[in-house]
Chains A and B, each alone.
Chain A
Amino acid sequence: MKAVRKSILSPITTIATIIVGLIWIFPLYWALNTSLSVDTNTVLIPPAFFPKPMLLDAFAYVIKNTTIVQWYLNSVVSSIVIVVIVLSISMMCAFALSQIRFRASRAVFMAILAGFMIPAATNVIPLFMQLNSLNLVNTYWGLILPQLVSPIAVVIYKQFFDQMPVELSDAAKIDGAGEFRILFRIFLPLNWAITWALAIVLFIWAWNNFFWPFIIINSTPKMTIPVGITQVQSWYGIAYPRQLASAVLAALPTAVLYLIFQRRVAQGVAITSGIK
């Protein structure tokens, strides 16, 4: 009897959950709806639940009349640079801590763990001064450098490298392979899954980072896209379709990345939060 009840309940639960989910992301539909509408469609009561006529005017306007393409490039380049550098330096550091025996190993690892306790936000005042004295305010390196600090990647790599069988690097050493070779030819290929998960999560973090880019960049063409779109507002006063078109454009890359790599993102989020 219980099995019967379950088989009837199961589709109902599924449908109910999907409905709640659709209500939850209604604001996203609403953003899309407005971004495809004309201005006069946004002052209707009751509101227009479908874009009529459906136009790409707002998108065209934003692309033509703001530096959004430049913001895109800035975001793409800076996020990729951050991900590649963070992964490389973390991987090397973790390899040394995991596979090479030396006296300070434990002390170094503890120092890295201590870094978790330091909140990024409270350092922005001295960081700004530091980059100011290096003449890096309002530059791409000023944007990128402080975002390279990511102790979590070291800790995760170390955790994965620690689980690799000792025989692996021993055998490679007998064959005459050096540490760099072992890391990039053996350890990295065997840890592609976690590298991808980390890369995607780091990319989303870098792409979405607001506070630091907001502080260090002050000329509009050098902004990243999340900071840049806040300018669209001040350029036009209130013009919802244009603002939402720029918001949709800003959200597109990470949203698409998430929808393609959903399971990797979930894995990356779980691992970086310390739950797995």
Chain B
Amino acid sequence: MPSSIAQRISPAARRAGRRQRLIAASLIAPFAIVYLSFLVYPTLRVIGLSLTNADIAGVGKFIGLKNYAHLIHDRLFWASLGHTLYFMLLCVVPNTAVGLVFALMLVRLHRARGLAQALFFLPYILPVSVVTVIWIWMFDSSYGVVNFLLHTKIQWFQDAGWAMPSVSFVTIWWTVGFNMLLFLAGLENIPREYYEAAALDGVSRGLQLFRYITWPLLWPVTSLVLILQVLAQWQIFNQVYLLTAGGPANKTIVVLQYMYVQGFQTGHGGYAATIAIVLFILILLTSTLQVRFLRARSD
């Protein structure tokens, strides 16, 4: 449209239009180059790779859908998917609930709010390896403070039953501050008048206020928190790798870790790409939900 108007107006305006396009292109170019080389290109290549028997250097030949056929019967892949889902089950809702509780506690504070907020948020800004070193020590089976306080001798990260719940617990401790911050922003956006109006109608008990005002008005934030966590936790790897290394006996291996093992430890680049594609599709389905939700919010 703008260019057809320019054509009708004058050669000078057309020149100006061309100059504008040139400037726009040169401003966009650096970002575009990075974006195309390190996001778009690898995304396209991973599809091609999944149809080959490439090693980790990318050398191999086309084998059609053989990787996918193999994947369907790969029990360790299904186990890793199951462990990822189990991790989500242990993590997503509790992490959201704890974040909400902390936010509700903080929003009531008139004094020392910055301090209290820092206490809950601080773990979130730590590198994952710092978090895992701390918790390996906390959970140490002989001299750990947790076993001391509980009068137990549990090997939290080595015990088949306890390993995944322990990893989830550590994850919640580490990341709940993020959820809390989002809830806090959401709570502050609820107009005070709603609570005053409710008080006039005779609703004054905290639980009722929460149920009829806070919870429904906070729902957009709650759903955002839930979706962001599901997106992040499809890609869980670091904590699991550092805390349990997928053990005992692959009982906690997760999808991304299986991709890592296939790609970088046994050198099956093509097969690892196939695992990546499946994970990618799962994440894509989740983020489609997110985009729809964000659009609904901005309209």
Contact = CB atoms under 8 A, between A and B. Distances in A.
Q: What's the dominant secondary structure at chain A's contact region?
A: helix
A113 B138 CA distance: 42
B125 A255 contact: yes
Given A14-B111, A116-B291, A132 B21 contact: no
Interface string B41-77: 1110110010000101110000000000000000000
A73 to B, nearest CB: 16
Most chain B beta carbons < 10 A, residue from A92, A115, A119, A257:
A119
A226 B181 contact: no
A145 B46 CA distance: 18
Interface string A123-135: 1111111101100
Contacts of A246: 133
A145 B129 contact: no
A1 interface: no
A97 B20 CA distance: 12
B2 A102 contact: yes
B123 interface: yes
Contact of B125 (A145, A233, A244, A265): A265
Given A31-B134, A118-B39, A215-B264, A47 B105 contact: no
Contact of B137 (A30, A101, A130, A179): A30
B250 interface: no
B116 A17 contact: yes
Nearest to A46: B148
A146 B34 CA distance: 8
Interface residues of A, number: 102
A188 interface: no
B78 interface: no
B108 A45 contact: no
B58 A255 contact: no
Contacts of A211: 237-238
Contacts of B37: 130, 145
B110 interface: yes
A115 B125 contact: no
Nearest to A116: B287
Contacts of A116: 287, 291
Interface stretch (A20-28, A54-62, A163-171): A20-28
A100 B35 contact: no
Contacts of A250: 127, 129-130
A225 B116 contact: no
A80 interface: no
A269 interface: yes
A32 B260 CA distance: 33
A210 B46 contact: no
A148 interface: yes
Contacts of A183: 27
A174 interface: no
A43 interface: yes
- Secondary structure type dominating chain B contacts: helix
A122 B120 CA distance: 31
Contacts of A130: 37, 41-42, 45
A230 to B, nearest CB: 5
Contacts of B130: 31, 226, 229, 247-248, 250-251
Interface in A79-124: 88-90, 92-93, 95-97, 100-103, 105, 108, 112-113, 115-124
A226 B129 contact: yes
A149 interface: yes
Contacts of B25: 96
B294 interface: yes
A98 B238 CA distance: 38
Nearest to A270: B185
A67 interface: no
Interface stretch (B82-90, B160-168, B208-216, B272-280): B272-280
A210 B127 CA distance: 8
Interface of A: 10-11, 13-14, 16-18, 20-22, 24-25, 27-28, 30-31, 34, 42-47, 88-90, 92-93, 95-97, 100-103, 105, 108, 112-113, 115-130, 132-133, 145-146, 148-149, 151, 154, 178-179, 183, 204, 207-208, 210-211, 214-215, 225-227, 229-230, 233, 240, 243-244, 246-248, 250-251, 254-255, 257-259, 262-263, 265-266, 269-270, 273-276
20 contacts: A14-B112, A17-B109, A21-B115, A21-B116, A42-B143, A89-B34, A92-B30, A92-B31, A100-B23, A125-B269, A126-B58, A127-B38, A149-B38, A149-B39, A151-B35, A210-B128, A254-B125, A262-B117, A266-B117, A275-B186
